[in-house]
Amino acid sequence: MITMPKPVVAAIVAMLAASVYVQVAAAEVDASRGEAIGAGCLACHGIEDFRNADPPYRVPKLGGQAATYLVNALQGYRNGARSHPIMSAQAKSLTEQQIEDVAAYLAGLGSVAVTAGGSDGSAPAAARTCAACHGQNGISLSPTWPTLAGQHEDYLVYALEQYRDGKRKNGVMMPVGGMLSDADIEVLARYYAGLEGLETTTKD
C-alpha cells in the first residue's frame, strides 16, 4: 500500500479549496461560445482510438470528464505545467474565457452518466492511494480531478510516467507518481482502463 506523505494531503486540501473558487469564477461561462473551439478539439478527441504519432498513445477520452478538470488541464498546457506540441500551442492561443467556454461545451457532450461508487474488490493495492481523489471505482470525487475509469490504458501509462519523471507538474501527482514502479503503473493503467466510465466524445 502506498501512503500519501503529509505534503500531498495538504496539497489535496488546497486544491479542493481552489476548485470552489474556480466554479464560482466560471459562473459566466457559455458552452455555446465554446462550440467553435470544441469542434477543433473533436478533430482528434472525437475519433475512437485516434493515436498520436509521437509519443504513440491514444489521445484521452473526454466524455464524462468535468468542466473544472478540463479547464485545469488546458491551463496546464498554456502555462507549461503540461507539455505537448499541439495541445500547448492550442491552449496558448486561448483566453481564460475561451478555455472556460470550451471546457463547458466538451463536458456537456458526454452521454455516459458517471457516478462515484465502491470498489468491486478487484482494485490493485496501488489503487488505494488513487481512490482518495479518483474514487473507489475510478470516478472522481471532485470536479477538480479527472475520472480514470474507462480511460485509454496507454494514455494512463503515459500520464503516470510524466508525473513520475517530473515532466508534468502537479503538487499531488508528482510525489505520488514518484513512488510508482513501472509495474505499478502498468497494473494501475490496466485496471482503470477496464472500468466502465469515460467515452470518446463526438458531436451529436
pLDDT digits (tens, 9 = 90+) for 98-141: 999 999 999 998 755 556 555 666 789 989 999 999 998 999 99
Residue 35 pLDDT exceeds 80: yes
Q: Write the CATH number of the domain with boundaries 6-193.
A: 1.10.760.10
Closest CA to 65 of 156, 149, 127, 163: 149
For 62-70, what is the mean pLDDT? 95
User: Distance (Å, rounded) from C-alpha 200 to C-alpha 49?
Assistant: 8
Residue 58: strand pairing partners:
51
For 17-29, what is the mean pLDDT? 54
User: Distance (Å, rounded) from C-alpha 204 to C-alpha 196?
Assistant: 21
User: Distance (Å, rounded) from C-alpha 156 to C-alpha 61?
Assistant: 11
- Residue 199's SS3 state is strand
User: Distance (Å, rounded) from C-alpha 55 to C-alpha 17?
Assistant: 34
Pure H helices in 126-172: 127-134, 153-164
**62-71, 109-118, 146-155: the lowest-pLDDT one:** 109-118
Q: What percent of the chain has pLDDT over 90?
A: 73
Residue 44 buriedness (CB in 10 A; 0-12 / 13-18 / 19+): middle
Distance spanning both ends of the chain, measured CA to CA: 43
> Which grid cell is 163?
508525473
> Which grid cell is 13?
486540501
Locate the domains of the chain by residue range.
6-193
Give the model's confidence band at 3: pLDDT under 50 very low, under 70 low, under 90 confident, else very high: low
Residue 161 pLDDT exceeds 80: yes
> What number of CA atoms fall less than 13 Å from residue 105's CA on the CB side?
22
Pure H helices in the chain: 6-25, 31-45, 67-79, 85-92, 96-107, 127-134, 153-164, 173-178, 182-193
Residue 86 pLDDT exceeds 50: yes
Contacts of 137 (CB under 8 A, 6+ apart): 116, 117, 118, 119, 120, 149, 195, 197
Q: Are 116 and 140 in contact (CB under 8 A)?
A: yes
